[in-house]
Amino acid sequence: MLQFTAPGGRFKASAIDLKFLLEWAYGIQPSQHSGGPSWMGTDRYDIVAKAEGNATDEQQKLMLRTLIVERFGLKFHYEKKKLPVYVISAGKTAPKLFPPKDGEVHSIKIMPQQDAEQKTNSFHVVLTRYSLKQLTDVFARQLERVFLNETGLDGDYDFTLDLTPDEGRPNPLDPSLLIAAMREQLGLQMKSQDAVVDFLVIDSVDKVAAGN
């Protein structure tokens, strides 16, 4: 489990493997890196940290990068690689994204919605102080795709999404459900294509005792 507060600077990781920490810190997906020993995906670590001041999401990621390099001796380089991606672009109408209110903290809530028979029939997703990059990171891991944001919208927003499965698409993370929700509820287009993206290659990394 990984939890962080932005702004606020509190970061907590419980029983997290180094592979996931690497992906979060460097803003990459599982398909965007290679190399490294197998223990990176099996050994578990606990991290609790508090940054000075109100560190942002990006500042916390930079600090975690420093920790990974210093504690694990990580060495890597970048290459370019063509991968299947989803490209997010602005639709024909203004995106339904709203500026966050004062005092709000970065959070996501995924709430199952039930029908009259108490069966889950949809998922209501509430995102507070979320960027489009953070939103797509949530779905990228499930859909096994890299997302590229071509909307020109780089700020933090408040917005909601309703994902309603049906008989043909029982999985709430079905790509076609997400594509429809992004278009109809947020006013954003989502297109599948191939693109050249940054690819991180691990050259070496040192194993340290887990659980600290």
So what's the pLDDT on residue 143?
82
Pairing of strands 10-17, 44-50: antiparallel
- Report yes or no on whether pTM surpasses 0.85: no
* pLDDT tens digit sequence for 158-184: 999 999 888 888 877 788 888 889 999
Residue 212 scores a pLDDT above 70:
no
So what's the pLDDT on residue 113?
81
Q: For residue 73, what pLDDT band results from cuts at 50, 70 and 90?
A: very high
Buried (b) or exposed (e) across 55-75, using 16+ Cβ within 10 A?
bbbeebbebbbebbeeebebe
Domain ranges of the chain: 2-79, 82-195
* pLDDT tens digit sequence for 116-133: 777 777 889 999 999 998
So what's the pLDDT on residue 46?
87
- Residue of 67, 55, 59, 66 whose CA lies nearest to 9: 55
* pLDDT tens digit sequence for 21-67: 999 899 898 899 999 999 999 999 888 877 776 777 788 888 889 98
